[in-house]
């Protein structure tokens, strides 16, 4: 009996110990940091378009979006989470951001729907599609404007110095157009890319000579009646300050894009057809930003672009887009923009003029912040004022 008592006591203690260990393994739910952001942008558009004679004047709400981000700190290192974004596109609401991510001070990984890595600089334009033909590598399997900017990708960024310089790799699937129009559009992974990017953080943007620079390589698969071919494109650009005055700042941006095209691709009658044609474009902008007491209040800019389709006779087009933006209050801007484009006869001839007057309201609100921010959620949208 004296032997049994110690055994029973040992068993009881072991049960208590095991229960305490189990209690430590309970996965208590940690409330994530929550960020809500977005923008409503509305313009009154006056249009005179030879390229689209049926276009009418009206109210334009395109590029309005709402974003939500949820993220948590990991047990050992880094932050992981998810982004959900809904955007107005052709009078319909679509998911333009729908991805998971992980980042630490050295790396960033992203998987899902987001912006394609097919452009480098953000030019001072009211919307990022205002000069889309010049600034982005086109989608050779869709005529939809949305599909030129967004796709399903897996991307990896390695920050060489933990902040400013990064090497980028990505693989993904560009969205295909209507199967009736593109019966041979590729499936699966049809796009690859790599690049090097140098970008100053926002707090150093006005006191360093180089704001943003880099080079990107884009490769996409195109299925034709003759089999599969690959389009290769290179984008290079730089944006730098013309003075080192953070109160009255002048800056210049320059980006060039070369697309090697498909052999004998001379049809330029649609967006996808132009993406398949050999071309080269140059875009440049001059921007003035007024920041009295280091508070951004107004911006004046002019952006000019030219593009040539080398295999098309009389295949040159050019555009110019001056605009002004006045910041009424935090996140509230009013603006005006005029965009003029001219086309050679090989591209249909004629010219387009668009006059836009509008207002935008931007929101960026954060709750339960216990992480420390790497980038504003509004950086996922086009930054028309900087």
pLDDT tens digits for 56-89?
899 999 899 999 999 999 988 899 999 999 998 8
**pLDDT tens digits for range 91-128:** 788 999 999 999 998 999 999 999 999 999 999 999 99
pLDDT score of 22 more than 50: no
- Does residue 159 sit within a domain? yes
pLDDT for the residue 301: 98
**pLDDT tens digits for range 277-328:** 999 999 999 999 999 999 999 999 999 999 999 989 999 999 999 999 999 9
Q: Looking at residues 362-372, what average pLDDT do you find? A: 88
pLDDT for the residue 11: 58
Q: Which domain holds residue 277?
A: 43-59+98-361
pLDDT for the residue 180: 63
**351-362 burial, b if ≥16 CB within 10 A, otherwise e?**
ebebbbebebeb
Mean pLDDT of the chain: 89
For the record, the structure tokens of 13 come out as 């203690």
pLDDT for the residue 15: 52
- Does residue 322 sit within a domain? yes
- Does residue 252 sit within a domain? yes
Q: Looking at residues 180-197, what average pLDDT do you find? A: 84
- Does residue 8 sit within a domain? no
pLDDT for the residue 274: 93
CB count in 10 Å sphere of residue 187 = 9
pLDDT tier for residue 21 given thresholds of 50, 70 and 90: very low
**pLDDT tens digits for range 132-165:** 999 999 999 899 999 999 999 999 999 998 789 9
Which secondary-structure segment (H or E) carries 346?
Answer: none
Q: Where are the beta strands (DSSP E) in the chain?
A: 33-49, 58-60, 65-73, 79-89, 92-103, 107-115, 150-159, 165-174, 191-199, 210-224, 227-241, 248-259, 279-290, 298-309, 316-329, 332-343, 351-367
Q: How far apart are CA 229 and CA 197, in angstroms?
A: 28
- Does residue 36 sit within a domain? no
Number of domains in the chain: 1
pLDDT tier for residue 199 given thresholds of 50, 70 and 90: very high
- Does residue 210 sit within a domain? yes
- Does residue 135 sit within a domain? yes
The rounded percent of the chain whose pLDDT value lies above 90 is 70
pLDDT for the residue 333: 97
Q: Are 205 and 238 in contact (CB under 8 A)?
A: no
- Does residue 1 sit within a domain? no
CATH of the domain at 209: 2.40.160.10
* pTM across the whole model: 0.89
Q: Is 52 helix (H, G, I), strand (E, B) or coil?
A: coil
């Amino acid at each position: 009996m004296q032997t049994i008592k110690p055994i029973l006591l040992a068993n009881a203690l072991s049960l208590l110990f095991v229960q305490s260990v189990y209690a430590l393994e309970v996965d208590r739910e940690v409330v994530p940091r929550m960020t809500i952001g977005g923008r409503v942008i509305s313009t009154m558009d006056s249009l005179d378009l030879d390229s689209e004679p049926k276009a009418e004047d009206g109210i334009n709400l395109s590029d309005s979006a709402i974003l939500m981000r949820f993220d948590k700190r990991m047990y050992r290192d880094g932050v992981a989470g998810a982004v959900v974004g809904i955007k107005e596109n052709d009078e319909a609401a679509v998911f333009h951001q729908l991805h998971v991510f992980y980042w630490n001070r050295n790396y960033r990984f992203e998987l899902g729907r987001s912006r394609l890595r097919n452009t480098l600089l953000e030019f001072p334009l009211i919307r990022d599609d205002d000069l889309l033909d010049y600034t982005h590598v086109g989608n050779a399997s869709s005529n939809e404007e949305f599909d030129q900017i967004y796709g399903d990708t897996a991307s990896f960024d390695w920050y060489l110095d933990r902040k400013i310089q990064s090497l980028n790799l990505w693989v993904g699937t560009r969205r295909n157009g209507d199967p009736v129009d593109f019966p041979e559009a590729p499936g699966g992974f049809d796009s690859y890319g790599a690049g090097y990017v140098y970008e100053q953080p926002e707090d150093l943007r006005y006191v360093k000579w180089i704001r943003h620079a880099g080079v990107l390589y884009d490769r996409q698969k195109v299925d034709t009646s003759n089999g599969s071919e690959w389009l290769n494109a290179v984008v290079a650009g730089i944006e730098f300050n013309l003075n080192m005055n953070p109160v009255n700042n002048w800056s210049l941006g320059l980006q060039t894009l070369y697309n090697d095209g498909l052999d004998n691709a001379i049809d330029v009658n649609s967006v996808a057809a132009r993406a398949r044609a050999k071309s080269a474009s140059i875009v440049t902008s001059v921007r003035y930003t007024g920041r009295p007491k280091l508070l951004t209040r107004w911006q004046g800019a002019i952006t000019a672009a030219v593009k040539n389709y080398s295999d098309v006779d009389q295949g040159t087009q050019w555009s110019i887009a001056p605009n002004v933006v006045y910041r009424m209050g935090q996140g509230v801007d009013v603006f005006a923009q005029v965009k003029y484009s001219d086309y050679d006869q090989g591209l249909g001839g004629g010219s387009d003029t668009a006059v836009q007057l509008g207002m935008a309201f931007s929101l960026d609100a954060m709750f339960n912040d216990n992480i420390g921010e790497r980038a504003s959620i509004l950086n996922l949208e086009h930054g028309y004022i900087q």
